[in-house]
Chain A
Amino acid sequence: DGGITQSPKYLFRKEGQNVTLSCEQNLNHDAMYWYRQDPGQGLRLIYYSQIVNDFQKGDIAEGYSVSREKKESFPLTVTSAQKNPTAFYLCASSYLRDRVNQPQHFGDGTRLSIL
């Protein structure tokens, strides 16, 4: 079955450490996204990518970095510059403009906590 796989499910970060969250999709979607969700809050866009080797900042990109070397993969690195990284992170993907009526598909999320 096609879908989005996020790993790990739980991740702990020490002070001053960079950590990378994995996101892989086999839906043949061109666009991929990273969202941050704080307790009881909505989704805030961190980064998104429409095509390999290209990505755009979302509303809260500071302290995060991404890469898109393959269509299927869009890893997110939470750097030490992100002072409040504790949150739930969701990866999503979708078709591009020719199929705008299609929804986003989501992974199961990664919960990041600070030690």
Chain B
Amino acid sequence: AQTVTQSQPEMSVQEAETVTLSCTYDTSESDYYLFWYKQPPSRQMILVIRQEAYKQQNATENRFSVNFQKAAKSFSLKISDSQLGDAAMYFCAYRSEGTGNQFYFGTGTSLTVIP
């Protein structure tokens, strides 16, 4: 089974500031896909951003961007201009052809936004 590690159980950021959530993964494959999901207090799982491993360019979605370091097997999420609505649990996930239809999730990082 693939391993996805989120080493920061909790993080906090001041409103309007920038925060980076870390994610590392273990794989021997060269082609795979990475995702960040947000789970607010409502418990809904919302896709934030995705990255294909074959793409060198880091994905961005408005205030959300990733720092994808393939050699280091690192996939961090940067949230710029943090807003109160960004407070949530964030999960990193991995999927590849080799894993078939399984997604592998990290244990999550709980983000608090301080007004």
Whether the Cβ atoms of B103 and A101 lie closer than 8 Å is: no
The interface size of chain B toward A, counting residues with CB under 8 Å, comes to: 24
Give per-residue flags for A92-115: 1 if the beta carbon is below 8 A from chain B beta carbons, else 0: 101011001101101011000000
Given A101-B33, A101-B52, A103-B47: A42 and B101 within 8 A (CB)?
no
Whether the Cβ atoms of B44 and A94 lie closer than 8 Å is: no
Most B CB within 10 A of own CB, among A40, A92, A96, A101: A101
Give the complex CA separation of A109 and B42 in angstroms: 10
Given A40-B110, A106-B44, A109-B43: A50 and B50 within 8 A (CB)?
no
A27 close to chain B: CB less than 8 A: no
Q: How far is the CB of B104 from chain A (nearest CB, A)?
A: 9
Whether the Cβ atoms of A100 and B95 lie closer than 8 Å is: yes
| 27 residue pairs bridging A and B, Cβ less than 8 Å apart | A31-B101, A33-B103, A37-B43, A40-B110, A41-B107, A42-B91, A42-B107, A42-B108, A48-B102, A50-B100, A50-B101, A88-B43, A90-B43, A92-B45, A96-B101, A97-B97, A100-B33, A100-B95, A101-B52, A103-B35, A103-B47, A103-B93, A104-B93, A106-B45, A108-B42, A108-B44, A109-B43
- What would 17 more interface pairs be, CB under 8 Å, given A92-B103, A101-B33? A33-B103, A37-B43, A42-B91, A42-B105, A42-B108, A94-B101, A96-B101, A100-B33, A100-B96, A101-B52, A103-B47, A104-B35, A104-B45, A104-B93, A104-B103, A108-B44, A109-B43
